[in-house]
Amino acid sequence: MSTCQICSSSLLELIDFGPQPVCNRYLADPDTHEYRHPLILSQCPNDGLLQLGRPWPSDEVRPRLDWISYKEPERHLDDLCDRIAALPGVGPDTLIAGLSYKDEPVLTRMEKKGFTRTWNVSLEELGIRHAGAGMETIQDVLSADLGERLRNMKGTPGVIVVRHLLEHSNSVSRTMTFLKAWAGAGGYLILEVPDSEQTFKDLDFGTIWEEHVCYFTAFTLGRAFEPFETNALEVIRYPYTLEDCLVAIVANRPASSSLPEAGDQLRKELDLGANFKAGWQLLAVRCQKALQQVRDAGGSTVIFGAGHRAATFVNLLGLDKLISCVIDDDPRKAGLHLPGCQLPIVTSAHLHSERPTLCLLAASPDSEKAIVGKNQAYADNGGRFASIYPRSLLAWEQLKA
């Protein structure tokens, strides 16, 4: 029986998607045997945290291609840095530390504000040697010993910034133990994660990803720290088109009083999980029917953007036989196949030569306008763009029913 990352309660299984491939493992040959692992969405009945019931082995999730990296939103970082600078006890002499390339933009901003002691720990300092290592590998090496070792290296950080790692952690408990050992008593942890509340409300399927173990909302993030004897002072939500960002400002000391009863809010969290579970098969049938109609009328459908969101959307909604190929102009992806569905990846020239009826947009919503603009001739010739993101202005109508 799987147990909760935060409170160790037995989890409630919401959806078992069956064995799924690793989304970053593009195939050169579609006949290659693919590693698969059960993808099981679960929820804790005690605190409402949505999470994968059986986290994936980090060795399998680690990219085999060294050019794979992910860009996190940065528009909110000026505001976040103002807040960090204003924390009681934080001053120009405070050591401000980060743990990955995702934290660099915060450290750079803090330096510009006059904080001269910053340190972004390198992969080498973490003892990691794989060239393509990302969050899946970093989260796997964290321990109390490593925390102590880092503290001995450059002294006690007053602030540790960790963006988009907590949700990748196969053990939140181990990550928190590491951070507590590294930070000084009275130090602060700045933990940023994606906000899953609206994406789950919208049945935004691209949001499910084997690399994300936990799917936090403002409520579940706010209550995630007390069991580790740390104190969430504030959870801030920053709105974005794709998904909002949540930042928890956490003091590395126990709270002086215990959390209030969860009550109605816990009920809302459990409803969020239950509605997602109830909605997904209806959504799959609706999408399959719509694409079958395109095919029955002699047309075809393609999907634009060969990332993990496209793979998840096609694989989990069972659309693999109804989509002819994936379009992506990244030359490194040309000629490869998307994991799971094994659809070939071709360039946008396909839109103009083959004129598919429907082009589903699965690149970042921020890039949709540019993609549509660049391929205006396709639309002028009767082609149609529709986004897989329910919050996009171009959202596919099947997502809205």
Which residues contribute to the site for Zn ion (CB under 5 A)?
4, 6-7, 9, 44, 46-47
Using the minimum distance from each CB to Zn ion, give the nearer residue, 171 or 342: 171
Encoded tokens for 313: 């959307």
Q: What angle do helix axes 144-154 and 172-182 make, rounded to 10 degrees?
A: 30
Q: Are 64 and 133 in contact (CB under 8 A)?
A: no
Q: Which is nearer to Zn ion, 36 or 268 (CB)?
A: 268
96: β partners: 118, 159
Element housing 314 (H / E)? helix 308-316
Supply the minimum distance, in Å, between the C-beta of residue 43 and Zn ion: 9
* Nearest distance in Å: CB 40, Zn ion: 16
Q: How far is the CB of 226 from Zn ion (least distance, A)?
A: 11
Q: Residue 97 forms beta bridges with which residues?
A: 119, 160
Q: How far is the CB of 316 from Zn ion (least distance, A)?
A: 24
Indicate the residue among 9 and 173 with the shorter CB distance to Zn ion. 9
Tokens coding 205: 């399927």
Whichever of 47 and 211 has its CB closer to Zn ion, that residue is 47
Nearest distance in Å: CB 45, Zn ion: 8
Nearer to Zn ion, 4 or 77 (CB): 4
Query: What is the closest distance, in whole angstroms, from the C-beta atom of residue 4 to Zn ion in the complex?
Result: 3
CA–CA distance from 110 to each of 12, 106, 118, 316 (Å)?
42, 6, 8, 41
Q: Considering beta carbons, is residue 47 or 197 the nearer one to Zn ion? A: 47
In whole angstroms, what is the distance from residue 340 CA to residue 118 CA? 42
Query: Half-sphere exposure of 92 toward its Cβ, with a 13 Å CA cutoff?
Result: 4
Q: How many CB atoms lie within 10 A of CB 146?
A: 18
Query: What is the smallest separation between the CB atom of 54 and Zn ion, expressed in angstroms?
Result: 16
DSSP code of residue 3: B
User: How far, CA to CA in Å, does 245 sit from each of 111, 199, 203, 271?
Assistant: 23, 12, 18, 21
Query: Closest separation between CB of residue 6 and Zn ion, Å?
Result: 5
Q: Of 43 and 94, which has the nearer Cβ to Zn ion?
A: 43
* Cross-strand bridge partners of residue 112: none
33 vs 319: CA distance, rounded Å: 20
Using the minimum distance from each CB to Zn ion, give the nearer residue, 9 or 376.
Answer: 9
Secondary structure E strands in 137-270: 159-163, 188-194, 214-215, 231-238, 245-251
Please state the closest distance from residue 175 (CB atom) to Zn ion, in A: 16
Could you tell me which of 135, 169, 183 has the C-alpha nearest to residue 6? 169
Of 287, 294, 321, 293, give the one whose Cα is nearest residue 382: 294
Task: Give me the residues paired with residue 385 across strands.
Answer: 359
With a CB cutoff of 8 Å and minimum separation 6, the contacts of 113 are 81, 85
Residue 10 or 122 with smaller CB distance to Zn ion: 10
